[in-house]
Each structure stands twice: as structure tokens, then as C-alpha cells.
Homo-oligomer: A and B are copies of this chain.
């Protein structure tokens, strides 16, 4: 199991959090996604290793920018 943390910029409300959760949650192996527009924190939990590139791409697909924290 792995838990990776990222910093997302641009989320302003709960809808934004939901968009990020939906996109990141579609990544294979991801079992939990926590996103906060207040802190910008994104915490991704997966059964195995987490591919940062896929997470960052998913966040971008949702309309936001992210970096590994």
C-alpha cells in the first residue's frame, strides 16, 4: 500500500474537490482520494505503488495543477 501527498492549486470549493477526486479515483489501484480546497492538499491511497505522473495528469484533466508534496 502507498499513500502519496500532492499540492493542488486552483481548487476553490467542494465541487473542485469532487472533480479532482473523480479523476484521480479512476486510476487503477487507487483506493482512496482526499482533496481539500482549503489547504490544496491531495492525499492518494493505492493498493500498490502510485505513479505520480498519472496522478498529476488526472488532476490536470480535472482542470487544476498539482505537484508532489
Spell out A's residues near B (CB within 8 Å).
12-13, 15-16, 18-19
Interface of A is mostly: helix
Complex: A19 Cα to B19 Cα, angstroms? 13
Q: Which residue of B lies closest to A10 (CB)?
A: B13
Residue of A13, A16, A18, A19 with highest tally of chain B CB at under 10 A? A13
What 5 new A-B contacts, CB under 8 Å, besides A12-B12, A13-B15, A15-B15? A12-B13, A13-B13, A13-B16, A15-B16, A15-B19
> Nearest Cβ in chain B — how far from A52, in angstroms?
25
Q: Which residue of B lies closest to A37 (CB)?
A: B12
Complex: A19 Cα to B12 Cα, angstroms? 14
